[in-house]
Amino acid sequence: MTTQNAGLAKKLGYTNVRGFLAGEPAWVKAGYPVYASKEFVEKGNIVLLDLREEGKAVQGRIPRAIPVTSAQLEDRIDDIPHNAPVVLYSDNEQDVMKAFAYLREEGFKNVSLVNGNFQGWVAAGGKVEKGPIFSTEIKWVRKLGKGEVSVADFRKAVLGETTDTFVIDARTKDEIAEYGIFKNTVNIPLDEIAKRLNEIPKDKKIYVHCSTGARADLAYRELVKNGYDVKFLLLDITDPECDCPIIKP
């Protein structure tokens, strides 16, 4: 996030905040990994893949993990939902980084790693389960978390099919200039939300989006704090599931 957004995150109570000036897309494009939090691995609506050699998952694995060895990943790629958050771990740093890069190249936008792989998980006190695995089928259904708006409801608002909604695009002005903006949407960058509350109606449902959902989540928290009826879109706006018309400035 930008330094301004990092400052806002600190105001919202986050303590371990660092800024990467080029932003998350540039971070990933440069090949740097993204790590999932322990809570996200344990409770998140994710596809968790164990990339270790066959048999190791039976001896011990992170709960909910599906064993798909590094050698099997290419053959199983069509089994993994493209819009699912995918979390990977192995016992070999080279294998997990190769898998991370491969999934990104195949269009998976939400891929992260278990910090320290399986060894790091165990060392951090993470839960481990053992025993036979009765199914390696990958099942994932999108579930709305607290404060999230469904893609269907968001699309209705953007398409002008509702009159009781107000949609905010929390991206920067530079992003709008480069990528365009959805119809029926007002651009209020995340770091300007607190200063422009007078522009946001309190008699309507507020929907907030950005490029991936991270900044929209922060904007959601700021607006909730100020008494708004608000939800945010946790989805990459380039995802085909979104499918909303974009206006070029």
Q: What is the CATH number of the domain that holds 65?
A: 3.40.250.10
| One domain, residues 29 and 109 | yes
246-247/181-182 β-pairing? antiparallel
Structural domain harbouring 94 = 24-123
Number of CB atoms found within 10 A of residue 83's CB: 16
What six digits make up the tokens of 197? 């509350």
Number of CB atoms found within 10 A of residue 113's CB: 22
| One domain, residues 55 and 106 | yes
| One domain, residues 117 and 162 | no
| 210 belongs to a structural domain | yes
What six digits make up the tokens of 4? 């301004």
Q: What is the pLDDT of residue 142?
A: 83
Which one is catalytic: 80, 111, 210, 233? Answer: 210
Ranges of the chain with pLDDT below 70: 1-15, 17-31
Domain count within the chain? 2
Q: What is the pLDDT of residue 24?
A: 57
Q: What is the pLDDT of residue 12?
A: 61
Q: What is the pLDDT of residue 65?
A: 97
**pTM for the whole thing?**
0.67
| One domain, residues 81 and 171 | no
246-247/47-50 β-pairing? unpaired
Active site residue 210: yes
Q: What is the pLDDT of residue 6?
A: 60
Q: Which helix (H) or strand (E) holds 199?
A: none
Q: What is the pLDDT of residue 216?
A: 92
Q: What is the pLDDT of residue 4?
A: 53
